[in-house]
Amino acid sequence: MLRHYFQMAVRGFARHKLYTLINLVGLSVAFACAILILLFVRYQLSYDAWVPDTSNLYRLEVTLHMIGRPPLPQAQTPLSVLEDLQSKIPQVEAITYLAPENMTVTVGHRQFLETVTGADSDFFQVIKLPLVRGDPAHVLSQPGSVVLSQTMARKFFGDADPVGKLMTVRGPLGGGCAFAFNYSGCSPETRTLEVTGVLRDLPRNTQLVASIVVPDSSSAGTKAWKYGSAYGYVRLIAGARPQRVLQELKPILDAAFHIKVGNIEQTASELEHFHLTPFRDVHLTGGRYGGMTPAGSPATVYGFAVIALLIVLIASANFMNLATARATLRAREIGLRKLGGATRGQLVVQFLSEALLISVISLAVAMALVEVLLPAYDRLLAEPIGVQYLPDWRLLAAIVGGTVGLGLLGGAYPALVLSRFRPAEVLRSSGTAQTGSGALRSALVLGQFAVSIGLGVAAIVIFRQINFVRELDLGFNRSYVLVISGMSNMAPAAREGLMRALRNGPGIIETALSDEVPFQSGNTFTGLLHALSSSQVFSARFIHITPDYPSLYGMRLLSGRLLSSAYGQDLSSGSGVQNILINAETARQLGGSPAAALGRILVPGGRIVGVLANAKMGGVRVPVLPTIYLVDPVQATHLFVRVSSSDLAQALAFVDRAWRSWAPGVAMDRYFLSSAFNDLFTPDERQGTVLALFVALGIFIACLGLFGLTIFTAERRTKEIGIRKVSGARTHDIVKLMLWRISVPVLLANVVAWPVAYYYLHRWLEGYAYRISPNPIYFLAAGAAALLISWATVFLHTLGLARTSPVHALRYE
């Protein structure tokens, strides 16, 4: 019986080649898109799933609720809070933390600038990463130990056994110094370390940075719990509730400290709202606060999953539409089979078998497409997405099961429609029958184009938003500014000497120091302040600079003067109240114009001598905050060099020579600020490109179905067209009539798509502080494009049919 069904299906496919080709292409493309999206979604959801025993493991995060500014979520938490959790709350089984910092690594005569991660000595016992060599309980037990990943071990020591080998690191070591503010214990140290363990290379799908792990302690071997912050992890005892632990933490924090600025008081629990994020959820729910690795986006992951489902549904709707439409062409076949004794159940099984066969064939074609497209897809997303057939057998089984389910679903309604024909009625009507499914076919076309139009609007808005923020005036000049990291590993005197040497170099226009790097979050201190003799309190960022900083960036002075080394009170070491610069947003918070702010004293801070225009140093996703600029070369550890575009090569070569001269024991990392700005939009651009591709494929699949339906409609209405032409209808009248009937579901699709697209795009745009508005033109453009594409799909066939001689049309039936 199955062989008979297979033979009948093959004969039917051969007899109706065009319909078969349309279904096969549409389903194959849809399945390929769905599989590619599924691989991306699976990869995003797999972050840290490979780490064992994480069911009770959480990352401790904090949201700062500072007066006068929106809540500020942060991934790093104070180390002192971690200590309180371990020592004062019984439900906490263990804690650990990570504090990554760029440091100079020296092995023999070679230098490397690498990310060295300070960790608690119990790190490998709390987070059970796989060690190739070493005991998790002892690899970090001594201050002079270090654990290397397999890649780092080969990089530093080749194929030799790294355990017992020596290396040195130079950088701010001790107690989470990477995030400490104004802590003298974080001065650069040079430490000799002995390799005590080798860590298996971590896969890309992890939140952790642990290629070089050292015990986080000072050279004296003591932890500095009172200073700095780090990425903190907490393991709770079995059955412990995270919310109960956080409730017990509040009175501990309030007993430790509270804030009083002016007449405003704020308890610690009011300022810091802590929360525990499950370890496996950090990538999608907590990583956006500034994690060790780039965060994922839940909206993107689940949005892409919905897109995959919609594309498959579009193709399934095509299949169902065409199969139901073809029912009238198979009416005589069905009538004869029923007269021959076939039952309705047998006919249903036959038609479901045909649907299942074409689905399976489409899946085979789709898998071949995936194999061909996967390398380009990996490069587009910049993620190592792939599939391995034997290890991923569960995924493949799910794909095959889904294909079978969709095939049965897509063929179910047509099978029921076809099998219910009555033989007498069918044979009496010359082998045709009415399926009664015209409304269903129109609804399916409407749904297909609603999805395509909605995705098209999304693609337009994403690219328009990216172009808008790229061209936005940031309030400072980012072109040809070289950012040099590694200054924190140098003594202040060496920094000053390097700056003086660079000022006279070829192609170098200006130099400056700052503790803030534009477009990097969380690298400046934020605190509460108020104006002297005023009760108004607000929060502001404190940026430590050298006097040339505003000039290097071309920042506009609104009122007063710039800071200068010629004025003693402009320097942090000067006597009396230090002079400071503020931005226009700070002046607004003070309740007056930039000129009215001059001379006022901020506590803490100093006397205002100048007001700068707002500069969007934080990028385009966060609004400009009140900012205080004060001169402090000791705190300013990032070097900025403006170079000439005409002497770029000479300037870069001179920078490298000067660095080697003034910091021979420190590795350097340099990049252009404009590149960092472009990197801000890379994830959105990638998502927009992928979305645009899926939009194009979704419209292509919908148009395939529309083309098939047009051919079917034309075949069914040939006699009607002939009668219209005999009655005086001209060719363009026939074309207009046919195009209008096609246009109705496409136009109605806009009514469905526009509100849904507006809702989701409005929420997406809220992620940008500076954004476009969802202009009605974008919605009209997407709708018009869908309409024009639908017209173009069927125009030639409709025109040919309209030109057919009435004699041939009336002879058709």
Give the pLDDT confidence score for residue 255 in this predicted structure.
83
Residue 809, φ and ψ in degrees, nearest 5: -65, -45
Rounded distance, CA 211 to CA 316, Å? 47
Give the pLDDT confidence score for residue 613 in this predicted structure.
95
Higher pLDDT, 514 or 718: 514
Rounded distance, CA 585 to CA 608, Å? 14
Do the strands 537-545 and 627-631 form a parallel or antiparallel pair, or are they unpaired?
parallel
Cβ proximity of 264 and 67 under 8 Å: yes
Give the pLDDT confidence score for residue 431 in this predicted structure.
46
Give the pLDDT confidence score for residue 378 in this predicted structure.
87
Rounded distance, CA 607 to CA 555, Å? 20
Under DSSP, the state recorded for 562 is: -
Per 3-state DSSP, the chain is made up of helix, strand and coil in percentages (nearest 5) of: 50, 20, 30
State yes or no: pLDDT of 150 exceeds 90: yes
Rounded distance, CA 213 to CA 234, Å? 19
202 sits in the region (left: phi over 0; alpha: psi -120 to 50; else beta) called beta
Residues 6+ apart with CB under 8 A from 797: 707, 710, 711, 714
Give the pLDDT confidence score for residue 715 in this predicted structure.
60
Half-sphere exposure of 281 (CA within 13 A, CB side): 13
Facing residues of 110 across strands?
107
Facing residues of 197 across strands?
147
Rounded distance, CA 265 to CA 778, Å? 49
Model pLDDT for residues 445-480, shown as the tens digit of each residue: 788 788 888 888 988 898 898 889 888 889 999 999
Model pLDDT for residues 399-454, shown as the tens digit of each residue: 898 888 888 877 776 677 666 666 655 555 554 445 444 566 677 778 878 888 88
Residue 247: is it exposed, middle or buried by C-beta count within 10 angstroms (0-12/13-18/19+)? exposed
Rounded distance, CA 586 to CA 795, Å? 62
State yes or no: pLDDT of 236 exceeds 90: yes
Rounded distance, CA 270 to CA 337, Å? 78
Residues 6+ apart with CB under 8 A from 492: 633, 634
Enter the tokens of residue 178.
């990477």
**Nearest one of 44, 24, 576, 695 to 307, comparing CA atoms:** 695
Rounded distance, CA 697 to CA 383, Å? 22
**Nearest one of 540, 523, 518, 522 to 531, comparing CA atoms:** 540
Rounded distance, CA 655 to CA 659, Å? 6
**Would you place residue 263 in the very low, low, confident or very high pLDDT band (cuts 50, 70, 90)?**
low
Give the pLDDT confidence score for residue 158 in this predicted structure.
93
Cβ proximity of 560 and 554 under 8 Å: no
Model pLDDT for residues 714-758, shown as the tens digit of each residue: 666 666 666 666 666 777 777 777 778 778 888 898 999 999 889
Give the Å distances, CA to CA, from 782 to 466, 587, 603, 740: 18, 44, 54, 18
Model pLDDT for residues 171-206, shown as the tens digit of each residue: 765 444 543 333 344 556 788 999 999 999 999 999
**Nearest one of 535, 451, 348, 515 to 746, comparing CA atoms:** 451
State yes or no: pLDDT of 221 exceeds 60: no
* C-alpha 211 chain-centroid distance: 24
Helix (H) or strand (E) holding 335: helix 331-339
Higher pLDDT, 294 or 584: 584
Residue 197, φ and ψ in degrees, nearest 5: -165, 160
Cβ proximity of 718 and 710 under 8 Å: no
Model pLDDT for residues 772-784, shown as the tens digit of each residue: 988 899 999 989 9
Model pLDDT for residues 81-121, shown as the tens digit of each residue: 998 999 999 999 999 999 998 888 999 888 898 999 999 99
**Would you place residue 810 in the very low, low, confident or very high pLDDT band (cuts 50, 70, 90)?**
low
Rounded distance, CA 143 to CA 124, Å? 15
Cβ proximity of 462 and 691 under 8 Å: yes
Enter the tokens of residue 323.
């199969």
Give the pLDDT confidence score for residue 341 in this predicted structure.
64
Rounded distance, CA 267 to CA 258, Å? 4
DSSP code string of 691-759: HHHHHHHHHHHHHHHHHHHHHHHHHHTHHHHHHHHHTT--HHHHHHHHHHHHHHHHHHHHHHHHHHHHH
Half-sphere exposure of 117 (CA within 13 A, CB side): 22
Rounded distance, CA 803 to CA 721, Å? 10
Residues 6+ apart with CB under 8 A from 202: 129, 149, 208, 210, 211
Averaged confidence pLDDT in the chain: 81
Angle at the Cα of 794 (from 793 to 796), degrees rounded to 5?
Answer: 105
Residue 697, φ and ψ in degrees, nearest 5: -70, -40
State yes or no: pLDDT of 677 exceeds 80: yes
Rounded distance, CA 406 to CA 356, Å? 8
Model pLDDT for residues 625-647, shown as the tens digit of each residue: 889 999 988 788 889 999 998 88
Segment 594-603 mean pLDDT = 89
* C-alpha 224 chain-centroid distance: 35
State yes or no: pLDDT of 10 exceeds 80: no
Residue 742: is it exposed, middle or buried by C-beta count within 10 angstroms (0-12/13-18/19+)? buried
Residue 510, φ and ψ in degrees, nearest 5: -160, 155
The rounded percent of the chain whose pLDDT value lies above 90 is: 30
The 3-state DSSP class for residue 121 equals coil
Greatest mean pLDDT among 62-66, 106-110, 123-127, 646-650: 123-127
DSSP code string of 299-328: HHHHHHHHHHHHHHHHHHHHHHHHHHHGGG
Sign of CA dihedral 777, 781, 782, 786: positive
**Nearest one of 221, 215, 236 to 95, comparing CA atoms:** 236
Cβ proximity of 511 and 582 under 8 Å: no
DSSP code string of 403-453: HHHHHHHHHHHHHHHHHT--HHHHHHTTT----S-HHHHHHHHHHHHHHHH
Three-state SS for 705-718 is: HHHHHHHHHHHHCH
Greatest mean pLDDT among 303-307, 369-373, 431-435: 369-373
Segment 16-26 mean pLDDT = 79
Model pLDDT for residues 314-348, shown as the tens digit of each residue: 788 777 777 666 655 566 666 666 666 667 677 77
Amino acid identity of residue 139, one-letter, is V
Give the pLDDT confidence score for residue 391 in this predicted structure.
79
Least confident of 84-88, 171-175, 498-502, 674-678: 171-175
Residue 758: is it exposed, middle or buried by C-beta count within 10 angstroms (0-12/13-18/19+)? middle
Give the Å distances, CA to CA, from 161 to 72, 290, 622, 700: 46, 36, 48, 57
Cβ proximity of 175 and 185 under 8 Å: yes
Rounded distance, CA 281 to CA 58, Å? 9
Rounded distance, CA 165 to CA 158, Å? 12
Do the strands 131-133 and 145-149 form a parallel or antiparallel pair, or are they unpaired?
unpaired
Cβ proximity of 751 and 454 under 8 Å: no
